[in-house]
């Protein structure tokens, strides 16, 4: 059974059981405490806690309420925790996760019975054994799940008990729903994790019982395909076979790493991630640069990158339409990164070889390779390991921190020391050049905020913003998709204000006076008693820490690149500025 049949079978099965099928959310999650989407339940977090209602709250991507307390999805997921294991038989960074979820619709009995029926009856597989939560100081043993398994004919000896480490899941990010799990093993492989979200873990690790318990399950498509297709590794399944064949490298491990990393990179790029030195962009850069070095080391075809990108897109594009939609950008990003790193790589490797002769690479040396030749830290670590060279992460980090301190001081001097820059995570710039881009995007974001109010009305409310040198991302409360004509009008207004070359002025005011004057404030931030109000002509007025351009004419052309849902009732706009 090929992977597409497995996807269909899973979704059809749960549809028949009364579930609404929900599309995968983006790999870039709304939750600011997690970099990437790691699980299917992430987009449903507010439904477990009661912050959103499946029957009345508008779901972002569906554009209407979920319509059921029971849903199923195939979620694009990315986990960095296993990145160094990739290359063995079963670890991956990117994977697809099949999951069924319930927010007060059903609980243990149905969840376990559905899983049993799907695995045993639908797929004809034999369950080797299952595991259940054995209990600890805070949470009691899950006797109920064990009883349900017994009622389905699983023998007592095949019901293993384990503790927090193995049979308790979540939360994602620094807080959220979590709970005991029961896992299903087939042919010795853990294929399905069923979580009973009975608790909410607060950021101080304290557990609180959720008023309505929920179900959250996760089954990796790659592992399922492996057992269904009778293969001994995930890389022999149809999900990887054509990729591995294209790579055609003798070293099996290298072939797997390239296949995993390129596949993951393509999906990240399709969801809007671009290589950079921070956050998700850094993860993408790590994948790409590691792959570039390995390809070079094994003397692979220089066109490999492009070929693999094309292959991934070809294989997945019928199910993940975004890959077809963004094909051109995906290939461009792959090639650009190859060009950037490829040319520095050769010289950087020579420097590395020289340093490696001394069997020790110190913090200053490793930072030099990072800074001048663009080697991600983890790649240096890997290279040092291969060569048996002594290498200290701490020393590298010390050096990095020193340099960041220097550039922060430079930025503060320039912008009067009153900056949200680099400490709120709202703006991200690593050097002077990036800072200029971020500054232009920042002023453009203020214009966007006002233009959104002009066109969509005052019910919209800022929910967050995130600015990198590549783009701005603006989240706001709004209950429906923004129509294409509306986006066009918003874009036009911003460009008009840019053309007017309005001056930006700063006024220091008492917080309450500023709020009274009608300046916009972002409710999530705590403001000091005295604040800076930034006005753009008399068009926009916001409480802000800067930095901003002096006149809007410096911004360049403003372009909205994407409008999408961010979470229930919250929309997200991405935009860029061009010179």
User: Given the complex with ligand GLY, which of 60 and 218 has the nearer CB atom?
Assistant: 218
Query: Is residue 41 at the binding interface for ligand GLY, with CB under 6 A as the rule?
Result: yes
Shortest spacing between CB 198 and ligand GLY, in angstroms: 14
Smallest distance from ligand GLY to CB 180, Å? 12
Structure tokens at 106: 């059903």
Site for ligand GLY in 387-416 (CB under 6 A): none
264 near ligand GLY (CB under 6 A): no
Rounded CA Rg of the chain: 26
Residues 304-324 as b or e (16 or more Cβ within 10 Å = b) = bbeebbbbbbebbbeebebbe
* Residue 373 binds ligand GLY (CB under 6 A): no
Q: Supply the minimum distance, in Å, between the C-beta of residue 205 and ligand GLY.
A: 19
Between residue 504 and residue 563, which ones bind ligand GLY under the rule CB under 6 A? none
- The 3-class SS string of 31-71 reads CCCCCCCCCHHHHHHHHHHCCCCCCCCCECCCCECCCCCEE
CA dihedral 451, 456, 460, 462 (to 10 degrees): -30
Closer CB to ligand GLY, 30 or 216, in the complex: 216
Smaller CB separation from ligand GLY, 41 or 345: 41
Q: Which is nearer to ligand GLY, 93 or 495 (CB)?
A: 93
Q: Which is nearer to ligand GLY, 175 or 193 (CB)?
A: 193
Kindly report the length of the chain: 579
Quick one: which H or E segment has residue 560?
Answer: strand 557-567
Q: Least distance in Å: CB of 568 to ligand GLY?
A: 19
Residue (100 or 532) nearer to ligand GLY, CB: 100
Q: Which of 99, 376 has the CB closer to ligand GLY?
A: 99
The 130-169 site mask, x for binding ligand GLY (CB under 6 A), equals: ---------------------------------------x
Residues 468-497 that bind ligand GLY (CB under 6 A): none
Residue 50 phi, psi (nearest 5): 90, 0
Q: In b/e form, how buried is each residue of 487-518, taking b as 16+ CB within 10 angstroms? A: bebbbebbbebbeeebebeeeebebeebbeee
Q: Which of 317, 379, 316 is nearest to 348 (CA)?
A: 379
| Between 26 and 197, CB nearer to ligand GLY | 197
First to last CA, the chain: 51
Number of residues that bind ligand GLY (CB under 6 A): 7
Does position 218 interact with ligand GLY (CB under 6 A)? The reply is: yes
Identify the three-state secondary structure at position 261: helix
Q: Which is nearer to ligand GLY, 180 or 309 (CB)?
A: 180
Near ligand GLY in 181-200, by CB under 6 A: 193, 195
Q: Tell me the closest approach of the beta carbon of residue 73 to ligand GLY, in angstroms.
A: 11
Do 412 and 419 contact (CB within 8 A), yes or no? yes
Residue 277 region by backbone torsions, left for phi larger than 0, else alpha for psi between -120 and 50, else beta: alpha
Q: Within positions 44 to 73, which residues make up the interface with ligand GLY, using CB under 6 A?
A: none
Residue 222 is a binding residue for ligand GLY (CB under 6 A): no
Helix (H, G, I), strand (E, B) or coil at 97: strand
Binding mask 293-322 for ligand GLY (x = CB under 6 A): ------------------------------
Q: Which is nearer to ligand GLY, 178 or 531 (CB)?
A: 178
Residue showing the smallest CB distance to ligand GLY in the complex: 218
3-state secondary structure of 510: strand
Q: Name which of 223 and 261 has its Cβ closer to ligand GLY.
A: 223
Closest C-alpha to 421, from 508, 434, 449, 537: 434
State which of positions 8-37 bind ligand GLY (CB under 6 A): none
Q: Please list, in sequence order, all residues whose beta carbon lies within 8 angstroms of the beta carbon of residue 51, skipping any fewer than 6 positions away.
A: none
Nearer to ligand GLY, 24 or 472 (CB): 24
Question: Considering the complex, what minimum distance in angstroms separates the CB of residue 193 from ligand GLY?
Answer: 4
Report d(CA 229, CA 238) in Å as an integer: 9
Closest distance between ligand GLY and the C-beta of residue 116, in Å? Answer: 17
- Least distance in Å: CB of 38 to ligand GLY? 7
φ, ψ (nearest 5 deg) of residue 311 = -65, -45
Least distance (Å) between residue 169 CB and ligand GLY: 5
Q: How far is the CB of 218 from ligand GLY (least distance, A)?
A: 3
270 belongs to the binding site for ligand GLY (CB under 6 A): no
CB of 195 vs ligand GLY, minimal distance in Å? 5
**Helix, strand, coil percentages in the chain from 3-state DSSP, rounded to 5:** 45, 25, 35
Quick one: 223 or 453, whose CB is closer to ligand GLY? 223
Write b or e for each residue in 361-396: b if 16 or more Cβ atoms lie within 10 A of its Cβ, otherwise e. bbbebbbbbbeebbbbbbbbbbbbeebebebeeebb
Least separation in angstroms between residue 132's CB and ligand GLY is 15
Q: Give the residue, chosen from 39, 154, 555, 560, that forms a contact with ligand GLY under the rule CB under 6 A.
A: 39
Grouping H, G, I as helix, E, B as strand and the rest as coil, residue 504 is strand
What span, in angstroms and rounded, lies between the C-alpha atoms of 260 and 464? 32
d(CA 150, CA 144): 10
Binding flag, residue 216, ligand GLY (CB under 6 A): yes
- Cross-strand partners of 387: none
Of residues 41 and 130, the one with the C-beta less far from ligand GLY: 41
C-alpha–C-alpha distance, residues 257 and 86, integer Å: 6
| Binding residues for ligand GLY (CB under 6 A) | 39, 41, 169, 193, 195, 216, 218
């Amino acid at each position: 059974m090929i992977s597409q049949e497995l996807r269909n079978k899973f979704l059809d099965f749960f549809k028949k059981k009364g579930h609404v099928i929900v599309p995968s959310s983006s790999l870039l999650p709304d939750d600011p405490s997690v970099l990437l989407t790691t699980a299917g339940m992430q987009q449903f977090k507010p439904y477990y806690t009661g912050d959103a209602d499946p029957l009345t709250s508008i779901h972002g991507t569906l554009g209407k309420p979920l319509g059921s307390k029971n849903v199923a999805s195939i979620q694009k997921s990315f986990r960095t925790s296993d990145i160094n294991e990739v290359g063995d038989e079963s670890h991956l960074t990117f994977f697809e996760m099949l999951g069924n979820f319930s927010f007060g619709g059903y609980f243990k009995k149905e969840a376990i019975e559905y899983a049993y029926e799907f695995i045993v009856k639908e797929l004809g597989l034999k369950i080797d054994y299952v595991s259940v939560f054995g209990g600890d100081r805070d949470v009691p043993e899950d006797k109920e799940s064990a009883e349900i398994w017994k009622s389905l004919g699983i023998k007592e000896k095949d019901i293993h008990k384990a503790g927090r480490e193995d049979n308790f899941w979540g939360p994602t990010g620094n807080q959220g729903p979590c709970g005991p799990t029961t896992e299903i093993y087939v042919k010795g492989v853990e294929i399905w994790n069923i979580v009973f979200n009975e608790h909410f873990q607060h950021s101080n690790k304290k557990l609180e019982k959720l008023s309505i318990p929920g179900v959250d399950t996760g089954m990796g498509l790659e592992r399922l395909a492996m057992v269904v297709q009778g293969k001994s590794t995930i890389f022999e399944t149809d999900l990887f076979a054509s990729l591995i064949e294209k790579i055609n490298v003798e070293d099996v491990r290298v072939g797997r790493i390239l296949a995993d990393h390129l596949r993951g990179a393509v999906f990240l790029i399709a969801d809007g991630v671009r290589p950079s030195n921070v956050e998700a962009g850094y993860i993408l850069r790590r994948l790409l640069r590691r792959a570039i070095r390995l390809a070079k080391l094994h003397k692979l075809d220089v066109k490999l990158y492009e070929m693999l990108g094309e292959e991934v897109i070809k294989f997945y594009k019928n199910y993940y339409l975004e890959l077809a939609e963004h094909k051109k950008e995906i290939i461009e990003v792959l090639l650009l990164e190859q060009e950037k790193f490829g040319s520095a790589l050769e010289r950087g490797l020579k420097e590395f070889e020289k340093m490696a002769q001394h069997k020790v690479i110190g913090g200053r040396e490793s930072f030099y390779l990072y800074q001048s030749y663009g080697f991600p830290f983890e790649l240096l670590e890997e290279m040092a390991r291969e060569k048996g060279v002594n290498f200290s992460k701490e020393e590298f980090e010390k050096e990095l921190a020193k340099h960041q301190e220097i550039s922060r001081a430079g930025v503060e001097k320039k912008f009067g020391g009153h900056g949200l820059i680099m400490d709120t995570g709202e703006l991200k710039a690593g050097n002077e050049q990036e800072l200029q881009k971020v500054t232009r995007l920042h002023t453009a974001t203020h214009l966007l905020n006002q233009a959104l109010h002009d066109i969509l009305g005052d019910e919209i409310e800022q929910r967050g913003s995130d600015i990198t040198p590549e783009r701005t991302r603006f989240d706001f409360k709004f209950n429906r998709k923004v129509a294409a004509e509306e986006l066009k009008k918003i874009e036009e207004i911003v460009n008009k204000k840019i053309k007017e070359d309005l001056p930006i002025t700063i006024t220091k005011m008492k917080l309450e006076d500023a709020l009274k004057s009608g300046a916009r404030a972002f409710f999530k931030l705590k403001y000091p008693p005295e604040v800076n109000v930034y006005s753009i002509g008399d068009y926009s007025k916001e409480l802000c820490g800067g930095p901003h351009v002096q006149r809007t004419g410096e911004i360049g052309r403003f372009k909205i690149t994407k409008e999408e849902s961010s979470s229930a009732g919250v929309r997200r706009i991405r935009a860029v500025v061009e010179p």
